[in-house]
Amino acid sequence: MADVLPRMIDAELRACADAHPVTLVAGPRACGKTTAAQRIAAATVRLDRADEAAAFRADPSAALRGIAARPLLLDEWQEVPAVMPALKAAADAGGPAAGPVLLTGSVRPAAAEAWPATGRMVELAMGPMTQRELRGGGDGRGAVAALIAGEDLRVDPGGPCDLVDYVGLALAGGFPVPALTLDERGRQRWYAAYVDQIAGRDLVAILRRADPDRARRYLEACALHSSCVVDAKVLFDAAGINRKTADGYEAVLARLFVLAHVPAWSSSRLTRLVRAPKRLLADVGLMAAAARFAPADVLRDGVLLGRVMETFVHAQLAPELAARHPGVRLCHLRTDSGGRHEVDFVLDLGGGRVAAIEVKSGAGADGADARHLAWLRDRLGDDFVRGVVLHTGERVHPLGERIVAAPIRALWET
């Protein structure tokens, strides 16, 4: 089933393969990068398999020339980093070996591994599957397009989805294998193994002196504080490590696409804005496995519930923005006067225009829930395109000029 469901990245991936010598599809391990790239590849070399990688380890330039089929997919490029300079040489020289070549990788290239590849290599970000993709709508227009256009969100009639349902959807996660093929117990085993892989192998492979137990504690602290604007000291104190160690772990988790950073939005028209980013785990299933909580824990802890819902919404927005709207920046907003004004997500559309999203765990929303959106609208005027308060109820209804309340499921049903 995972092999036939369309992904939002599909059309952009085809366009990039047609236009650029090298396209790098980057995202967390097991999110479906290889499956998506193989749909358009004429040949595949798995560089994480010793027999297939042997020629590329020995002489990557010759190995590239020796395979005529294009597009050529080099899967898990980071296992043979020497392919990067070989691809640079091929792209600079032109000819049949130049491309198109597709790269997939579970680690963002370090500065020493990449090259200034303007016009030659483009990078596409890919994450776990969104609810729209899991339901077969990955080739649809998407809710973000409606927000950008200032249109109303909508939900399909019937099919009630309450708070318990949303928590279940969130904790099931979006990685294709557990989401599409495993039962609840199987998903728990899969995610536990994924956490072990990150802390015990992937992170240690990059930071040679990393301690797996400390890495696991730091990942747990990040999971418990997902969607928060929190000082780094809170995290490294919770993990029992120092700042330097925490900085190293955080950088690697970001390179592994496990930890996302949502930057603070800034504008010359507003003052006293917090500059710190939000940290979010890329997937709520991973968040739950790293922090070891279950649906019942979420439902009896209001703080955790809010963090889970916001992380879940981010997991729906980020892949759609990366695949369909790369020029839109996803940010957050908070004033530094005691958190007096806060907007969970600001979509910076360029030219000073924004759309904004608040996330609530309640089964409805009223004017009080929209007060921060109204404050932002009043200060930006016509540049405030649309605001939405997402909630766990059923109704779509207006909350003021250019502000609407809508169920979270509108993100995949609009």
- The secondary structure of 69-119 as a DSSP string is -SSEEEESGGGSTTHHHHHHHHHHH-SGGG--EEEEESSPPPTTT----TT
Residue entry with tokens 């990557």: 60
What pLDDT score does 93 carry? 83
Residues in the chain: 414
Choosing among 3.10.129.10, 3.30.470.20, 3.40.50.11290, 3.40.50.300, the CATH entry for 10-125 is 3.40.50.300
Contact 318, 305 (CB under 8 A): no
pTM of the model: 0.94
Residue 94: CB partners within 8 Å, gap ≥ 6?
none
Whether the CB-CB separation of 62 and 91 falls below 8 Å is answered with no
Q: What is the DSSP letter of 228?
A: B
Domain layout of the chain by residue ranges: 10-125, 131-413
- Which amino acid appears at position 30 of this protein? A
pLDDT average per 10 residues of sequence, the chain (414 residues): 79 93 95 96 96 96 93 95 89 77 89 62 94 93 90 81 95 97 96 96 88 96 96 95 96 96 90 90 98 97 98 97 93 82 96 96 94 96 96 94 96 92
Tell me the Cα Rg of the chain: 22
pLDDT value for 1: 46
Cis omega before residue 71 (within 30°)?
A: yes
Q: What is the DSSP letter of 403?
A: E
**Which pLDDT value is given to residue 111?**
62
Q: What pLDDT does 117 receive?
A: 60
Dihedral sign, Cα of residue 186, residue 189, residue 192, residue 196:
negative
CA distance 348 to 213: 39
What is the phi-psi region of residue 402: left when phi exceeds 0, alpha when psi lies from -120 to 50, beta otherwise?
Answer: left
What pLDDT is recorded for position 362? 93
Say what the pLDDT of residue 165 is. Answer: 95
